[in-house]
């Protein structure tokens, strides 16, 4: 029997308690967690393999590589740049999954407010395989609107991000 690691969720963002939740996962052979991790944490690579992100900046310096507690901002899904902060950062190593998560927020009137936790888990599996899991919980009226769309744009957008990430790491 094999068990798989899971995302570490702060209580505020526990899946099923927000207004929109999506989960995407790929398991592929021929690439390692370290190779995937390199492209995931380097925001200067994101726009090369994922077309739903723009305007990445680091208001307090740092970057383009994400690190623990780093503040950054980026635009996605038609939102103006969201203020984000890395809240979990653990590089993958032998027997230890890579963990990355950030909060992202949009302030403003109630109909505009959005509060998100986007989490990633990257782990090597037996047989030369890697597992990449990304999940996101969203809170706010914009999240309610996204959740009601069919197909769910978050689900499709995050799958494109996973596919592009694995593709970039495989080259």
Say what percent of the chain tops pLDDT 90. Answer: 94
Q: Please check whether residue 24 lies inside any domain of the structure.
A: yes
Q: How many domains does the chain contain in total?
A: 1
Please report which confidence band the pLDDT of residue 2 belongs to, taking 50, 70 and 90 as the band edges: low
What would the pLDDT profile of 125-154 be if each residue is shown by its tens digit?
Answer: 999 999 999 999 999 999 999 999 999 999
pLDDT of amino acid 78: 87
Q: Please check whether residue 7 lies inside any domain of the structure.
A: no
| Domain containing residue 62: CATH number | 3.30.530.20
Q: Please check whether residue 2 lies inside any domain of the structure.
A: no
| Nearest alpha carbon to residue 101 among 162, 10, 22 | 10
- 50 close to 35: Cβ distance less than 8 angstroms: no
What would the pLDDT profile of 68-98 be if each residue is shown by its tens digit?
Answer: 999 999 999 988 899 999 999 999 999 999 9
Run of H or E residues at 141 = helix 141-148
A 10 A CB-CB count for 13 gives 23
Q: Please check whether residue 23 lies inside any domain of the structure.
A: yes
- The DSSP letter of residue 43 is H
What would the pLDDT profile of 96-118 be if each residue is shown by its tens digit?
Answer: 999 999 999 999 999 999 999 99
Q: Please check whether residue 91 lies inside any domain of the structure.
A: yes
End-to-end CA distance of the chain: 32
Q: Please check whether residue 9 lies inside any domain of the structure.
A: no
Q: Please check whether residue 4 lies inside any domain of the structure.
A: no
C-alpha distance from residue 114 to each of 110, 117, 171 (Å): 9, 10, 35
Q: Please check whether residue 140 lies inside any domain of the structure.
A: yes
Domain of 38, in residue numbers? 18-170
């Amino acid at each position: 029997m094999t068990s798989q690691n899971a995302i570490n969720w702060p209580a505020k963002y526990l899946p099923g308690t927000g207004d929109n939740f999506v989960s995407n996962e790929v398991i592929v052979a021929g690439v390692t967690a370290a190779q995937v991790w390199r492209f995931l944490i380097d925001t200067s690579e994101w726009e090369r393999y994922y077309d739903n992100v723009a305007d990445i900046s680091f208001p307090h310096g740092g970057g383009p590589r994400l690190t623990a507690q780093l503040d950054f901002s980026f635009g996605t899904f038609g939102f103006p740049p969201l203020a984000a902060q890395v809240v979990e950062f653990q590089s993958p190593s032998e027997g230890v999954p890579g963990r990355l998560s950030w909060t992202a927020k949009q302030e403003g009137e109630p109909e505009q407010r959005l509060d998100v936790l986007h989490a990633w888990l990257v782990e090597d599996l037996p047989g030369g395989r890697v597992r990449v899991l990304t999940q996101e919980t969203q809170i706010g009226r914009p999240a309610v609107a996204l959740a009601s769309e069919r197909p769910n744009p978050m689900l499709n957008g995050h799958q494109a991000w996973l596919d592009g990430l694995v593709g970039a790491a495989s080259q």
